[in-house]
Amino acid sequence: MLNQSLRIHKQTRDGMIAKIKANARNKFSDEQLEAMGLDALEAIAALAVEEEEPVANFAGLAPVVTANTEEALQLPTWDFSKK
C-alpha cells in the first residue's frame, strides 16, 4: 500500500515536472524542479500550460442548400395595349 502511494506520488511529480519543462518559457533547471515540493510544482504546472488562441469558427452557421426547392419569380411584363 505504501509502495503504491509512493509510486503514484512519483508519477504525479514527474508529470508536473514534464509539463513545466515542456513550456518554452521555463527557466528552472532540473535540480531546482527536483528540489521543489509537490504544492509548488502543482502551482507552477498550472501556470506553465500554454493556452491556445481562440479561433473564430463559423462552420455550420450558414444554411446548406442541397437542392433548389424554391421557384423563380415571374419576370414582370409591360403590356401597353389598350383593352
Q: What is the pLDDT of residue 29?
A: 92
Report whether 17 contacts 46 (CB < 8 A).
no
CA 6, CA 9: separation in Å to the nearest integer?
Answer: 5
Q: What is the pLDDT of residue 13?
A: 93
For the cut 70, the answer to whether the pLDDT of residue 49 exceeds it is yes
Among the ranges given (9-18, 20-29, 64-73), the one the predictor scored with the smallest mean pLDDT: 64-73
pTM over 0.85: no
For the cut 70, the answer to whether the pLDDT of residue 21 exceeds it is yes
Q: For residues 71 and 59, which has the higher predicted lDDT (pLDDT)?
A: 71
